């Protein structure tokens, strides 16, 4: 009976900790997934010889898409859409801010380097994905620690 009580106490301590761990992993997956998609968009723009765009929709049902046209809606299937990622794939992760990016096919650069997206989790961690002057994306943490991501 005492062993059962001790197990119950230990489980009640582990469940919230596990939930927080899942939230941090989802946040990291969202940021690293976008970073990989930005690398893919840069490569594909050069391979196709035409500009590619990354468009975002924020809010509780956020999404983003890699597309052949600017402002391609990631919420509906369209011929311009090459790939889409949606909030329902990463529950508990919120997209706080984002801006559309255009990858130039000749240089692989974006029109305006800087912050691409800012993500947060229910635990308060914040992660930024940005694109440098040469078109290379990077990910860093603004708040909290998510190894192996560096601090901004």
Asked whether residue 60 is assigned to any structural domain, the reply reads yes
Which pTM was predicted? 0.86
Q: Is 96 helix (H, G, I), strand (E, B) or coil?
A: strand
Sign of the alpha-carbon dihedral angle for 21, 22, 25, 31: negative
Asked whether residue 14 is assigned to any structural domain, the reply reads no
- Answer for the pair 101, 120: CB distance below 8 angstroms, yes or no: no
Asked whether residue 7 is assigned to any structural domain, the reply reads no
Q: What is the CATH number of the domain that holds 66?
A: 3.55.40.10
3-state secondary structure 77-93: CCCCEEEEEEHHHCCCE
- Report d(CA 69, CA 121) in Å as an integer: 30
CA 28 to chain centre: 8
Q: What is the pLDDT along the chain (152 residues), one digit of tens a residue?
A: 676 556 555 555 555 578 888 999 999 999 999 999 999 999 999 999 999 999 999 877 899 999 999 989 888 888 899 999 999 989 899 999 999 999 999 999 999 999 999 999 988 999 999 999 999 999 999 998 888 999 99
State the residue range of the domain holding 38: 25-143
Number of domains in the chain: 1
Asked whether residue 9 is assigned to any structural domain, the reply reads no
């Amino acid at each position: 009976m005492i062993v059962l009580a001790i197990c119950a106490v230990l489980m009640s301590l582990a469940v919230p900790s596990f939930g927080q761990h899942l939230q941090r992993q989802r946040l990291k997956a969202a940021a690293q997934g976008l970073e990989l998609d930005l690398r893919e968009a840069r490569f594909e723009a050069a391979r196709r010889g035409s500009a590619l765009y990354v468009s975002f929709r924020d809010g509780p049902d956020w999404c983003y898409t890699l597309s052949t046209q600017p402002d391609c809606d990631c919420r509906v299937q369209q011929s311009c859409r090459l790939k889409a990622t949606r909030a329902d794939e990463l529950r508990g992760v919120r997209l706080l801010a984002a801006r559309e990016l255009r990858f130039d096919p000749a240089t692989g650069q974006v029109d305006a380097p800087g912050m691409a997206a800012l993500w947060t989790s229910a635990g308060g961690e914040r992660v930024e994905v940005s694109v440098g002057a040469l078109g290379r994306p990077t990910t860093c943490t603004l708040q909290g620690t998510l190894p192996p991501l560096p601090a901004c």
